[in-house]
């Protein structure tokens, strides 16, 4: 048994030697290969940062550095009086809501998170629907003041309230080149820095591809322009610019420009038909905890559906006519809160 085992061992060794020898030769005239490569580990130089974690911005759906998103959103009540134009940094917003206010005018609740400018404005006073609009974002709300009852409503939310009328910290200033009261400017980057420990916002809408309405189930129709009427005083519109892959905004028939000189633009235009509560006298209150008809305009298409909001702190849900979620393209969004007695039209 011992002799047989020795022969077997010698046979295995011989076979192994033959295999190794064969592995060192090429099939071309016996050319000998070099030694097999040895895996090496390259040490990262001391102090070099590891690769940044990739995340998605909750209010745009775009990929971003996770560390750059670790701060609260900033919602600001922005003036839209003719004397307040051009507004500052609207094209750097994540989401803007346009709402009806007294006199048939409109104002904005503009929300910045993924890109915080140094300054924004002009900042104006709060209205009764603004707590329901801003609360789902958490974070910070900035405004110039307002009727005591409306300020108390906003103060009752969990948001950090920054109010020009009460500010003694230098976050707000009046711009000499702008007429009052359309001249209040917020140091927005500083406002976020001072409240950096406040939690970031949660996702508000569902996002898809750059052309999310292309699926036949949405029955989306080609759209070159979106025409909206809030009142005789305010009738904004959006024109699709295929070269820029964006909707370009107009107000009262003229191109709408921001302070940078750029045309105000959006990746997504979401139009909601809303009821108006007149219980505050001359101050209309858009009813936000409700539901109604909705349209989503993306990439030169428009799909019809419904919207619903269950509670002041709940986000708006957009549902297509087939029951599936209405998805937006990654990018910034304008939400147009058009009164039921206004009008909505889409041009092919």
Which pLDDT band holds residue 246 (cuts at 50, 70, 90)?
very high
More confident residue, 226 or 31: 226
Q: How many CB atoms lie within 10 A of CB 328?
A: 25
In a domain, 12, yes or no: no
Distances (CA, A) of 79 to 126, 185, 243, 322: 10, 11, 30, 38
- Three-state DSSP at 105 gives coil
User: Does the pLDDT of residue 227 top 60, yes or no?
Assistant: yes
- Three-state SS across 14-56? HHHHHHHHHHCECCCCCCECCCCCCCCCCCCCCCCCCCCCEEE
DSSP secondary structure code for residue 123 in this structure: B
Position 13 scores a pLDDT of: 35
Note if the bond before 181 is cis, omega within 30 degrees: yes
Residues linked to residue 63 through DSSP beta bridges, in sequence order: 56
Position 261 scores a pLDDT of: 98
Task: Supply the DSSP string of 50-74, one letter for each residue.
Answer: PPPPEEE-TTT--EEEGGGG-S--E
Distances (CA, A) of 273 to 104, 294, 320, 339: 16, 6, 15, 6
> How do residues 116-143 score in pLDDT, each as one tens digit?
999 999 999 999 999 999 999 999 999 9
In a domain, 247, yes or no: yes
In a domain, 19, yes or no: no
What CATH number has the domain bearing residue 65? 3.50.90.10
Of 118, 111, 114, 120, whose CA–CA distance to 86 is shortest? 120
What is the rounded distance in angstroms from the CA atom of residue 276 to the CA atom of residue 308? Answer: 16
In a domain, 31, yes or no: no
Position 110 scores a pLDDT of: 99
User: What total number of domains does the chain contain?
Assistant: 1
Distances (CA, A) of 229 to 123, 150, 202, 322: 24, 26, 31, 27
DSSP secondary structure code for residue 197 in this structure: T
Position 33 scores a pLDDT of: 35
Which pLDDT band holds residue 88 (cuts at 50, 70, 90)?
very high
Question: What would the two tokens of residue 150 be?
Answer: 């409306």
> How do residues 255-278 score in pLDDT, each as one tens digit?
999 999 999 999 999 999 999 999
Between strands 63-65 and 54-56, the pairing is: antiparallel
Residue 82 burial by Cβ neighbours in a 10 Å radius (0-12, 13-18, 19+): exposed
Which pLDDT band holds residue 16 (cuts at 50, 70, 90)?
very low
For residue 117, what are the contacts with CB-CB under 8 A and spacing of at least 6?
88, 89, 92, 188, 189
What is the rounded distance in angstroms from the CA atom of residue 205 to the CA atom of residue 279? Answer: 30
Note if the bond before 86 is cis, omega within 30 degrees: yes
> How do residues 27-83 score in pLDDT, each as one tens digit?
333 333 334 333 333 444 444 555 556 699 999 999 999 999 999 999 999 999 999
Encode burial over 143-182: b for 16+ CB neighbours within 10 A, e otherwise: bbbbeeebbebbeebebbebbbeeeeeebbeeeeebeebb
Q: Which residue has the tokens 């129709």?
A: 221
Read off the pTM: 0.85
Position 51 scores a pLDDT of: 57
DSSP secondary structure code for residue 103 in this structure: G
Backbone angles phi, psi at 68, to 5 degrees: -75, -10
Which pLDDT band holds residue 11 (cuts at 50, 70, 90)?
very low
Between strands 285-286 and 246-251, the pairing is: unpaired
Q: Which residue has the tokens 């619903």?
A: 308
Position 202 scores a pLDDT of: 97
User: Does the pLDDT of residue 330 top 90, yes or no?
Assistant: yes
In a domain, 7, yes or no: no
In a domain, 144, yes or no: yes
In a domain, 253, yes or no: yes
In a domain, 20, yes or no: no
Position 49 scores a pLDDT of: 53
In terms of residue numbers, what domain contains 134? 54-347
For residue 56, what are the contacts with CB-CB under 8 A and spacing of at least 6?
62, 63, 64, 207
Of 201, 122, 134, whose CA–CA distance to 161 is shortest? 134
> How do residues 286-325 score in pLDDT, each as one tens digit?
999 999 999 999 999 999 999 999 999 999 999 999 999 9
DSSP secondary structure code for residue 202 in this structure: P
């Amino acid at each position: 048994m011992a002799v047989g085992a020795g022969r077997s061992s010698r046979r295995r060794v011989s076979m192994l030697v033959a295999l190794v020898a064969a592995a060192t030769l090429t099939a071309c005239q016996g050319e000998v290969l070099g030694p097999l490569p040895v895996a090496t580990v390259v040490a990262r130089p001391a102090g070099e940062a590891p690769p940044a974690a990739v995340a998605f911005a909750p209010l745009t759906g775009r990929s971003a550095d996770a560390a750059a998103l670790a701060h609260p959103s900033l919602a600001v009540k922005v003036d839209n009086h003719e004397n307040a134009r051009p507004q500052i940094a609207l094209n750097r917003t994540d989401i803007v809501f346009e709402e009806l206010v007294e006199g048939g005018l409109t104002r904005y609740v503009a929300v910045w998170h993924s890109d915080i400018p140094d300054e924004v404005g002009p900042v104006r006073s709060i209205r009764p629907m603004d707590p329901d609009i801003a609360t789902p974002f958490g974070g910070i709300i900035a405004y110039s003041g307002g009727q005591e009852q409306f300020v108390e409503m906003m103060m009752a939310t969990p948001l950090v309230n920054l109010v020009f009328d009460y500010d003694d910290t230098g976050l707000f200033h009046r711009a000499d080149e702008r007429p009052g009261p359309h001249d209040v400017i917020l140091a927005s980057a500083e406002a976020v820095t001072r409240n950096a420990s406040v939690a970031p916002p949660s996702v508000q809408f569902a996002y898809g591809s750059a052309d999310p309405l292309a699926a036949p189930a949405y029955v989306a129709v080609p759209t070159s322009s979106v025409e909206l009427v809030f009142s005789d005083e305010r009738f904004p519109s959006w024109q699709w610019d295929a070269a820029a892959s964006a909707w370009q905004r107009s107000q009262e028939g003229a191109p709408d420009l921001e302070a940078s000189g750029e045309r105000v633009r959006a990746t997504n235009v979401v139009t909601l038909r809303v009821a108006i509560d007149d219980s505050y006298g001359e101050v209309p209150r858009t009813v936000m905890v409700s539901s109604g008809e909705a349209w989503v305009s993306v990439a030169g298409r428009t799909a019809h559906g419904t919207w619903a909001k269950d509670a002041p702190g709940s986000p708006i849900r957009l549902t297509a006519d087939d029951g599936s979620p209405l998805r937006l393209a990654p990018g910034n969004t304008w939400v147009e809160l058009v009164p039921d007695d206004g009008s909505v039209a889409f041009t092919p």
